[in-house]
Structure 1
């Protein structure tokens, strides 16, 4: 999935640093027998499918990043959905022209773009990263090159509802940025292929197409690979 040879030393160092933030969040939470998911559903006697946790989502008013956690898929406890709202976008970054217009787009006064979803297990650790079709999150559809740029701007730098979770999610996305970039490109390719196969359907609202790309992850194994690749590249650099 990932072409490691194309990653620079700087990129690998930034990924390694982000990985340490991820591990540190696990360490801090483990001291009190807490975990990432538990932080978000704490105080709720019953965990309901499809409901957003926390209620009202988490939003950073400075970066215009947003996320929520909910559940509705088999094989996981639930998943995070991450977004960037239009105030975090630059001039010229507009939704894809020609896409259908749905009533849910009129229920808000700005645009919103889904970035990546993070599947979680029952212990509060990530299982996979995946992208979704437009109808899944009622987003506005942006082209892959814009979404990739939006990923770089995602940051939740607020204390509530859980500072460790906010740090963890921000760092996880930075850690897996090259993988997420590839998943977003695969997302657009899937849309093109689906549209070609079913030209009579509105591809963005087709309930038969929900997940557009997915990749299973293991933070520990990924960090080991990063360290190995970094050591190799630094060795070659020193050797001249």
Structure 2
């Protein structure tokens, strides 16, 4: 974790020395920045590892410029993961009612959202968060499966911005315990909403968007790790 944190800091400091930052590098060459548009176009996707991410913005917090959404496509992994079979709690499904999850991406198109990373106006990370299924139109996998996928996330392709790829991989290692807890809290939040509204579909509930969040500081985390190792 400390090795990953030092690499994250090195990348941030190297970009700052060039009067740049992670977001600026990712948006390099773009004439305008439009909210809700994915950057880069078509996302960053490594077909060999199934890792994927994109950056976009829809401002709800004045501290936030935008955020990364980080995914794993499980079809390339050696483990076999089955999507959660989330039926509506309570009474059985009525005749003619669409099966819950029938419209989710399947096969090679299936993807699992691991975590979001909010960035401030200086291009630095300020928050980790998880979201409900409808937000990213993902295929819903149980927390234990998403946590396993986290261990496999890797971007090998250098066709995009290698510094951003390395930074994201390092950030996931640096904050891995926190991400694991956020994913578990995600499931707990959805289950609580399902109990509160037994005739609804919690995964499509537009009033439940962010399921868990945690403010972060790379510098503070690295200091904590150094103190722990010294002790």
Give the TM-score of the pair, scaled to structure 2. 0.89
Deviation at 1:111, TM superposition (A): 1.2
Counting helix residues as a fraction of each chain, which structure ranks higher? Answer: 1
The farther-off stretch of 24-33 and 183-192 is: 24-33
1:124 is matched with 123
1:63 is matched with 49
Q: Tell me how far apart the structure 2 counterparts of residues 160 and 33 of structure 1 sit (CA, whole Å).
A: 23
Q: Secondary structure at the match of 2:224?
A: helix
Deviation at 1:42, TM superposition (A): 1.3
Q: Considering only aligned residues, what root-mean-square deviation do their CA atoms show, in Å?
A: 1.5
Q: Tell me how far apart the structure 2 counterparts of residues 205 and 102 of structure 1 sit (CA, whole Å).
A: 12
1:86 is matched with 74
Q: Answer yes or no: is 1:183 the counterpart of 2:182.
A: yes
Runs of 4+ with >6 A deviation: none
**Residues 91, 226 of structure 1: alpha-carbon distance in 2 compared, 3 angstrom cutoff:** closer
Q: Deviations over 1:160-180 (max 9, x none)?
A: 321111100110011000100
Deviation at 1:230, TM superposition (A): 1.5
Contiguous gaps of at least 5 residues in structure 2? 88-99
Q: Secondary structure at the match of 1:172?
A: helix
Deviation at 1:30, TM superposition (A): 1.8
Q: Deviations over 1:160-213 (max 9, x none)?
A: 321111100110011000100010111111111111111121101110000000
Give the TM-score of the pair, scaled to structure 1. 0.86
Q: How many residues align?
A: 217
- The equivalent position to 1:52 in structure 2, one of 32, 38, 43, is 38
Q: Deviations over 1:119-141 (max 9, x none)?
A: 00010000100000000000000
Q: Deviations over 1:29-79 (max 9, x none)?
A: 123211000111111121101100000000112211000000013221000
Deviation at 1:104, TM superposition (A): 5.5
Contact 1:120 1:128 in 2 (8 A): yes
